[in-house]
Structures are given as structure tokens and as C-alpha cells.
Amino acid sequence: SMKEVVLRHYSGVKEEQRPLPDLILIDGGIGQLGAAMDALRELGLSRIDIIALAKAKGEKEERVFLPGRKNPVILKPSSPATHVLQLIRDEAHRFAITYHRNLRSRALLSSKLDGIPGVGPAKRRDLLRYFGSIDALAEASEEELQRVGGVGPQTAREIHKALASSN
């Protein structure tokens, strides 16, 4: 839920004493705004400004929900403010999609490498760091795999076999 996401994120920000934002933009309507505000209040961060951006079903106009206001501010599609808010939302969506795609890829890689003697969590991390991406790791030759510290010919053969069988 929105409240859980905001609680988890901003409790970490607060705990690590990272800088707080001037404004939080929530993708959703009045309900999402309320949930996020509850979370911030619980964390003692209610001083942070927060708004919610939503598009009404079948409508072109964006609606901006503000704390303490029952009715949203309606933004025209051609408004520069609308454009900026949409760009921010689109970038947040792109970031979230990429993050979740990477999580799935890493989980898949972990499962493919599970059970290979000599390849534990640290070696998986080293392999990913060295090759930069899961795709590059999957395309690596046995010789290239051996360039990673601690990966000998037998381990490289097993890694190559495990990744090749899944492509």
C-alpha cells in the first residue's frame, strides 16, 4: 500500500539522515495522498509538502490533489505545469519498471547459478560487477569468466553451461 511504501522509504531516509525532499509527488488520487500523509505524520515528517497527481478516467486533464482541499486543481493538457508533472511521473514509472526488471533478472540469475560449487553470493556479485549486466554475463565465454578473481576453468565451465542452457 502507499502508506507502507512511504513509511519504509522515509524511515530509511530519516534513519540515515539523508536530505529530505522539498516536495513529494504521489501518483494517485485523494486516497493515495491521505495514506502518504498518514505515513509522513507517523514519522514526524508532516512538514514536507506533498501533492497527488491523477488523471480522471476518460479525461485528458490532470488533477492535482492538495492537502486540506476537497476538490482537486484541474490542469489543462497544454499547461507547462502539466507537462513538468507528467515528465516527473513518467520518469518515476520508468525508474520503478527498470528496478523491478533488474530484481527479477538478478533472482533468475541467482537461481541459475545456485548449486554450482564455488559460486556463492559473493562470487555472483563479483561476476555481475565485472560484466556489468546479466546479459553480458550470459554471453561471456569460459575464458572471459576466468578473468573474474576466483573463477577457475572448472567453475567457468559450470557457469557457462548453466547460463547457456537457459538461453
**Average pLDDT in the 19-47 region?**
95
Q: What is the pTM of this model?
A: 0.60
Q: What are the angstrom distances between the C-alpha of 166 and each of 113, 116, 121, 136?
A: 11, 15, 20, 14
Query: Tell me: the pLDDT tens digits for 48-90?
Result: 999 999 987 777 788 999 999 989 999 888 889 989 998 998 8
Give Cα separations from 147 to 15, 52, 86, 162 (angstroms).
Answer: 39, 49, 45, 18
What local confidence, expressed as pLDDT, does residue 154 receive? 92
Entry field: residues in the chain: 167
Enumerate the domain spans of the chain: 2-77, 106-164
98-110 pLDDT, tens digit each = 877 877 777 766 6
The CATH superfamily label for domain 106-164 reads: 5' to 3' exonuclease, C-terminal subdomain (1.10.150.20)
Can you give the pLDDT at residue 162? 85
Q: Which residues pair with 51 in a beta bridge?
A: 25
Can you tell me the mean pLDDT for 141-150? 92
- Distance (Å, whole) CA 94 – CA 105: 16
